[in-house]
Amino acid sequence: MPHRAASASQSASSAAAREEALQQHLLQLEPTVSAALAARRPLLSFVPGLEAQFEADSAAQRLARFRLLGLIAIVIVNLFNLTDPIMLPDIAAEALRIRLGIVTPIMAITIAAMYIPRVGKWREWLLVLLILLAGGSLIHFFTRGHHPNALQYHSGVILIVMFGSIVIRQRFWFALGANLLLFLIYCAAIAGLAQMPPEVRFNSGMVLFSAVVISLIANYQMEYDSRRTYLQTLLQRIEAIKLQRSRDELELQAKSDPLTGLANRRYFDSRLNSEWLRAQRGQEPLSLIYLDVDFFKAYNDHYGHQAGDECLIRIAQAIQQSVQRAADLCARYGGEEFIVLLPQTSMGSALAVAEKLRASVEATRLRHQYSEVADQVTVSCGVACMIPESGTGSAQLIEAADRALYAAKSAGRNRISGFADTAISPVG
């Protein structure tokens, strides 16, 4: 169970780190997004960093769309097997073999390959392959068939062009390449088609060319609109991140001591009351460490207030680094007074943490030649622990820790002391 909890905590921390990195990246993109929205050039591609983010945000949705429409395309292509005996009676068997033995398997394999991450990034090229395969096979059938109805199949090429550009919505440049290649293949295939008079060939080519142009215009507009909408959405997302960070900053300022960065007294008192009630409900121990910098007034008087502030900052850092649990809370409680809240902690464990804090401050080796206990900055610590009973208040815990701190000072300072008074239910 502890291992599982640790793993969950690490996973949560990793997710938080990834989210923070993503937010930082998006904030850095803000000028680029604004510039792209203001630009008058066609929005068919972004600068590399923004294009990568666009792909990351849209890849999953596009892949899902392509997979679904790819399956629909397979069904539509094979529906022609029903009309081949009527439209292509002389090559119906050949058309069936090609569709079922070549076209359909290749389309199915291509769609399945999109589920593979390394292959999925080539999705646009794979779509070009599918368009050319479907259109090329249809062109092959109506140019091979000699029945008069065979020529009606050229309209199917128009459907394929529209399907790729408008329904699947290939990226514009890929749609342009696929459609032009398909048009050239079509023109080359009908150039020497005897059963199609020259004027019919010209008209058929013009019809397909018109379909290509119309489809590309529609594709271009959809691509432009989707990218512009993405930029607007991304900008809103960035603004939301900035707003949330501003709120977080204001909330942090309301909770924090401006000098040390630790929690301030107001926030500490609020947390103490909450933890007191929680411990009361669960009948769990709640511990408190009260710290006071030894002879700090003498330090301030002789070294100056700026040095005094720097001293408090160093002590706060030492305290924070010594308290590892997320549930614990370190706060600046007064001028040179600090306080540490330790939920679900026994007296023995709290005393160990207090000694670690005391030693950590001593290890900073801040010179204090005016101290009466050492030639460096030290702290005295009072420790109290209680299991809150009904009808009691958190002020009792602070009072107990304060008494313990007084005892530590009376005993010579630079030491810790635990409060033990059965009248207020200490926990050993």
Q: Distance between CA 126 and CA 215 in Å, rounded?
A: 19
| CB burial string 244-265: b at 16+ within 10 A, e below | eeeeeeeeeeebbbeebebbbe
Q: What is the mean pLDDT of residues 203-207?
A: 90
User: What is the CB neighbour count within 10 angstroms for residue 152?
Assistant: 13
Q: Distance between CA 428 and CA 425 in Å, rounded?
A: 10
Chain centroid to CA 230:
17
Is residue 366 very low, low, confident or very high in pLDDT (cuts 50, 70, 90)?
Answer: very high
Is residue 310 very low, low, confident or very high in pLDDT (cuts 50, 70, 90)?
Answer: very high
What number of H helices and E strands is found in the chain? 15, 5
First to last CA, the chain: 26
30 belongs to the catalytic site: no
For residue 148, count CB atoms less than 10 angstroms from its CB and return exposed for 0-12, middle for 13-18, buried for 19 or more: exposed
The model's pLDDT over 241-282, given as tens digits with 9 standing for 90+, comes to: 999 988 888 887 888 999 999 999 999 999 999 999 999 999
User: What residues form DSSP beta bridges with 229?
Assistant: none
Annotated catalytic residue, options 336, 355, 362, 372? 336
Which pLDDT belongs to residue 60? 83
Residue-range domains of the chain with CATH:
11-239 (no CATH), 265-424 (3.30.70.270)
Is residue 428 very low, low, confident or very high in pLDDT (cuts 50, 70, 90)?
Answer: very low
Q: What is the mean pLDDT of residues 88-112?
A: 91
Which pLDDT belongs to residue 37? 85
Tell me the DSSP string of 37-95. Answer: HH--S--S---HHHHHHHHHHHHHHHHHHHHHHHHHHHHHHHHGGGTHHHH-TTTHHHH
CB 385 within 8 A of CB 346: yes
Q: How many residues does the chain have?
A: 428
Cα angle 15-19-24, degrees, rounded to a multiple of 5:
150
Q: What is the mean pLDDT of residues 73-96?
A: 90
